[in-house]
Amino acid sequence: MASKKTNKTHLSWNDPAFRSIIYQIAVLGIVAYVAWYLVSNTMHNLSIRNITTGFDFLDGEAGFAIGESSIAYSPADTYKRAILVGIVNTLQVSAMGIILSTLLGTIIGVARLSTNWLVARLATVYIEAIRNVPLLIQLFFWYALITESLPGPRQALNPVDGVFLSNRGLKFPALQGDSLSWILYGLLLAVLGTFAFYYWSRKRQEKTGKTFPVFRSGLFMMLAFPLIAYFLGGASLALEYPVLRGFNFTGGLSISPELSALLAGLVIYTSAFVAEIVRSGIQSIGSGQWEAASSIGLGKGKVLRLVILPQALRVMIPPMTSTYLNLTKNSSLAVAIGYPDIVSVVNTTLNQTGQAIEGVIIIMAAYLTVSLSISVFMNWYNRHIALVER
């Protein structure tokens, strides 16, 4: 009768499994000791200097103005509200930067692969020049160009009726009226409806092979829903033009020089990296795909849009995720040109309250949350478009 073999773990240093457990315990102990030392040393230093800790200061009155805010804010509001303004400003710049840099980078990346010698060389020069100049230098350049080169409000450039460009920023007409909120809700509903139609049409095509005109349906909803919402809201809508009064413009909407410079720097700098990702993604697709698509009568534009780019996305998404994360973190350089992002607002807060550690924790938590959110979404999208092996 064959004897049963038993696997016993011997507590011997010659056993790799035993050694790995000991190493992990040792490393964990060292990390815990270092963390305890740093925390205890910090608390001791704060104690002997009579510096209070905690986040109770967030409920105190901020007492400082913020030059640009997408939400209501006044110096009488709390520090908590001021920090919220900084977070919203950071999210606003990051979102606009990601969208614009993706569009511009895609165009430049495709242009670098153009058969036109001049177009391809111009795209190459753009990419190599922009990528090799530090972003901070580019921000200073754009800020100086806007504030020093452009004329004052009284001599503002007026390229289009109602649009003014000066060293105080860009001023343009704004919609006002009770129907505006209704129109925005209608537009949001149209966007959600378009995504729902797109998802439904994909499932329908997989089952039946029949296509659905998603683009035309989405375009119809984009026009019809806001129009219906306009009448439901009482048809109250007017265009408010900026008017020069004193030393600046009033009315309408405006984009400050700080936001303009920050957005220009982030978009132009990041688009150079996006362009290289797009170029490499397209080149990763074999030439047989181009030839097969061309053989059924598709033009180069349709081949690129319908055949090549959908396949290249599977290669482009992972590095594109890192690029988006870098853009979000690079937005912290806004403090160098005076744009009130989360870093700038928290810096002012900690200078007034002396809560330096809490301020740094807030900044770290804000960027960590935003970065992880972008990473989670991009990873989900990457899995969504990945090839599924059967």
Q: What pLDDT, on the 0 to 100 scale, is given for residue 2?
A: 46
Closest CA to 111 of 95, 96, 98, 127: 127
What is this structure's pTM? 0.80
For residue 359 the two structure tokens come to 């301020």
Position with higher pLDDT, 108 vs 387: 108
pLDDT in tens, 343-370: 999 999 888 888 888 888 899 999 999 9
Most confident of 265-269, 292-296, 332-336: 265-269
Task: Report d(CA 263, CA 146) in Å as an integer.
Answer: 12
The residue count for the chain: 390
Name, in order, each residue with C-beta under 8 angstroms of 169's C-beta and a sequence gap of 6 or more. 146, 254, 255, 256, 257, 259, 260
Task: Report d(CA 226, CA 16) in Å as an integer.
Answer: 67
CA gyration radius, the chain: 28
Q: For 162, left (φ over 0), alpha (ψ -120 to 50), or beta?
A: left
Beta bridge partners of 368: none
Position with higher pLDDT, 248 vs 331: 331
End-to-end CA distance of the chain: 45
Residue 9: pLDDT over 60: no
Q: Match 């009579």 to its residue by tokens.
A: 50
Name, in order, each residue with C-beta under 8 angstroms of 208's C-beta and a sequence gap of 6 or more. none
Under 8 Å between Cβ of 170 and 257: no
Under 8 Å between Cβ of 242 and 252: yes
Share of the chain above pLDDT 70, in %: 96
Task: Report d(CA 84, CA 60) in Å as an integer.
Answer: 14
Average pLDDT of span 331-348: 90
Q: What is the mean pLDDT of the chain?
A: 85
For residue 90 the two structure tokens come to 């950071």
Q: What pLDDT, on the 0 to 100 scale, is given for residue 1?
A: 45
Q: At what angle do helices 356-385 and 79-112 cross, to 10 degrees?
A: 40
Name, in order, each residue with C-beta under 8 angstroms of 97's C-beta and a sequence gap of 6 or more. 263, 266, 267, 270, 327, 331
